[in-house]
Amino acid sequence: MTVTANISPFWATPMADYVNPQLARELKEYVLTKEAQGIESGVAEFIKHNLTESAFDFFHSDDPVIQKSLEWICECLKATLNSIHGSEENYQIGFNESWYHITRTNGIHDVHKHPNCSWCGVFYLDPGDGEDGWTSFITPIDSAYHDHGNRFLMDTSLNIKPKEGLLVLFPSYLAHTQKLYTGEKDRIVVAFNMTVHEAPANAQT
């Protein structure tokens, strides 16, 4: 007997990527004038090795390149959410925390999640000169048993290769890690946590 499959992808995890290398170069120049010392955020220092991290207020600035970055990132997230929701809403986006990492040779950032937000982002300003240091996202599906019936779960991680100007947006429930980076050139990224609310009816942005 022949049957027709009717399959729905429930609990799929949406992720989005955008590219803006010119903005990445401008923001990198700004970062290099503000280089942090050690882990200035003071957060989870034990999972961060051979990297510096700014305080979590990086976007709290009136500098034109910061404002330009905020505008572009907001437009990217709005486009992402409207695509997911099948709508054309004007969301009000807040940045709870924002910071940058400068990772040096043999640097790593172990597995973690970002709390108190719905969406997160990583903007790669300079991928460095190595072939590693990728960002690895771990499946949110927790299965205690595997056989041929659920072998579609065998891909337990998604590995993103950093490249200049790449912006990756992802839901905050995704655990992720920056894998070991062995290059000699600094690897520079900006990361941030966002909250999203319905914008007032008369809001312009």
CATH of 16-140+152-198 given 2.30.30.100, 3.40.50.2300, 3.90.79.10, 2.60.120.620: 2.60.120.620
Q: How confident is the model at residue 200, as a pLDDT?
A: 67
Q: How confident is the model at residue 111, as a pLDDT?
A: 96
Q: How confident is the model at residue 189, as a pLDDT?
A: 98
Q: How confident is the model at residue 202, as a pLDDT?
A: 56
Q: How confident is the model at residue 9, as a pLDDT?
A: 80
Mean pLDDT of the chain: 93
Q: How confident is the model at residue 153, as a pLDDT?
A: 83
Q: Please provide the size of the chain in residues.
A: 205
| Rounded Cα distance, 27 and 22, in Å | 9
Q: Are 58 and 158 in contact (CB under 8 A)?
A: no
State pTM to two decimals: 0.92
DSSP notation for 137-203: EEPS---S--SGGGGGG---EEEE---TTEEEEEETT--EEEEEE--SSPEEEEEEEEEEEEPPTT-
| Rounded Cα distance, 135 and 156, in Å | 14
Q: Are 100 and 52 in contact (CB under 8 A)?
A: no
Q: How confident is the model at residue 204, as a pLDDT?
A: 52
Spell out the domain ranges in the chain.
16-140+152-198
Q: Which residues of the chain have pLDDT under 50?
A: 205
Q: Count of H helices and E strands in the chain?
A: 2, 9
Q: Are 104 and 150 in contact (CB under 8 A)?
A: no
Q: How confident is the model at residue 154, as a pLDDT?
A: 79
Q: Are 69 and 167 in contact (CB under 8 A)?
A: no
